[in-house]
Structure 1
Amino acid sequence: RTYDLSVRCLTTSRVYNVHAKVVSFNVNRRIGKRRSITWPGAEHFRGEEVYGYANEVLDLKFWGKKVLVVGAGAFAFENLRTAIERGAKQVTILGRRSGTTCPKWIDMIAFLRPLDNYFNTNKSGNIISFDAWRQCYKDACLDTPECWEEGLLKPHNHTVSVSDLAFLGGYYGLVDLRVGEIASFRSDGQGVLLKDGSGLDCDIVIKATGFHLNDEVPAVTGYSKIHSFNLLDFNLNYGAEPLLDGGQHGSQKRQT
């Protein structure tokens, strides 16, 4: 099977017709356009409100500030790290559900531990690592993820975030992990109100609220299903990352 394509140049808008034996799309699936969000009363907020992507935080003055990071995925923990490194007084991560984060050594061991013939690690070692990981949460006075009580490693479609500073910050009282949703900014301009009626003081709000799925490839090709080896059809490849289920450690080797 071969394919005829029309390709438009982004700089000149010229359209080229291409005949190809093989077509491969290498377009990120999970990170499309960002999810934009705002809340009532934003005009009253005296601090800074930005998104945690595309270097929007570069010009923020973090020193001595209380920072609220909205979201519980990998980008949220990246922004937590940035805030702590730049001198924030307090950082709170607020998510609709608790994400899963681990110290670097947990992630590193996933790469270093030996595998059996079925690409599995030793179960006894898994238990030792997980118990030590749980103890890190306890020592840092941070709540363990709710999904652990459901037998899941992490929420569906999430990766496991890697953040030593989340645990160090928790231990020293600089970091808090909260589950909840913002209802509005406070009328006094000093923070936000949550839907449960509680409030949070903050000087900076960083929105790490995720992305919409990228649907361009299905729209272009007309295919809605992907087969083994990332094939949409014969000689038509889509190098998309898989849907991440709750039982998978996102960066563990040899797993998809």
Structure 2
Amino acid sequence: AHKHCYGKVRINTEVLRVDKLDNGEYDVRTKNVKTGVEHTVHAKAVSFHVNRRIGKKREVDWPESDKFRGQIFYGYGNEVTGAKFWNKRVLVVGAGAFAFENVRTAIEHGAKHVTLLGRRDGTTCPKWIDMIAFLRPLDENLLTSKSGNMISFECWQNCYKDAGLRTPDCWKDGLLKPPNHTISVSDVAFVAGFHGLFKLEVGEIDHFSADGSGVNLTSGDHIDADIVIKCCGFHLNDDVPKVTG
């Protein structure tokens, strides 16, 4: 393989444009992001391996955020690197995979308590539940047994119950996860919930409180916080249409 790949792997390279030629082949214009030097590669085929769902972060804000006495971060791009979580009350806004990742980060760095607030429930599971799904045998149709699925799901429900966490509303509708969501994997969320360090809430922020102590929800409830981490999703990645025209 090294004979075929040697010298053909490029890093620090941005694809600027892909043009299809009359003969069905392609010219790919690239730029070295360090030197700025542009180069054209001729290819018989082009395959894009990019994430369409994760583009630029969805920027959100709420009234009176300037009065907040704590810190506000986005939960992407290493913004929380260096944040002082020790003994702090942390509010993570969002219910997707990035939100649960930031819950883990806050707990592992000594947060006093973490609340995850989403407009709807997300779904997360312990690692062992996730692993069992990959290790269980498959039948001739590449499916696992229904009886085993029921046992795993019952154990999963008990994990929520034992941790004192609310179960996802979508389960009542027979869905494992909300539409357009992924299932997050987080042992820490369940361990922290069991020890009273983590809580799941459903609601929306209306504004930051006037005294700077946290946020007020549209329901009228208040959540105290020292750190707010915004994990409010992404815009669709539109880089490919820009490159191909």
What TM-score results when the alignment is normalised by the length of structure 2? 0.86
Q: 1: CA distance between counterparts of 2:108 and 2:39?
A: 48
Rg larger for: 2
Residue 218 of structure 2 corresponds to residue 188 of structure 1 = no
3-state SS in 1 of match to 2:157: helix
Equivalent in the alignment of 1:162: 185
- The CA deviation at 1:18 is 3.8
- The CA deviation at 1:48 is 0.7
CA RMSD of aligned residues (A): 1.5
- Superposed, which structure 2 residues align to 1:50-89 within 5 Å? 50-89=73-112
Which of 27, 43, 63 is residue 40 of structure 1 equivalent to?
63
Residue 216 of structure 2 corresponds to residue 203 of structure 1 = no
- The CA deviation at 1:203 is 0.6
**Displaced runs of 4+ in structure 1, greater than 6 A?**
none
Q: 2: CA distance between counterparts of 1:164 and 1:6?
A: 44
- The CA deviation at 1:81 is 0.9
Equivalent in the alignment of 2:235: 212
Q: 1: CA distance between counterparts of 2:190 and 2:43?
A: 51
Equivalent in the alignment of 2:141: 118
3-state SS in 1 of match to 2:47: strand
Q: 1: CA distance between counterparts of 2:205 and 2:118?
A: 9
Equivalent in the alignment of 2:21: none
3-state SS in 1 of match to 2:156: helix
- The CA deviation at 1:3 is 2.2
Indicate the percent of aligned positions where both proteins have the same amino acid: 64
- Gaps in structure 1 of 5+ consecutive residues: 223-256
What TM-score results when the alignment is normalised by the length of structure 1? 0.82
Residue 196 of structure 2 corresponds to residue 173 of structure 1 = yes
- The CA deviation at 1:9 is 4.1
3-state SS in 2 of match to 1:132: helix
The amino acid that maps onto 2:59 is: S
Which of 128, 143, 151 is residue 151 of structure 2 equivalent to?
128
Q: 1: CA distance between counterparts of 2:63 and 2:244?
A: 40
**Equivalenced residues, count:** 222
Equivalent in the alignment of 1:30: 53
**Partner deviation per Cα, 1:76-96 (whole Å, 9 max, x = no partner):** 111111111111111000011
3-state SS in 2 of match to 1:24: coil
- Gaps in structure 2 of 5+ consecutive residues: 1-23
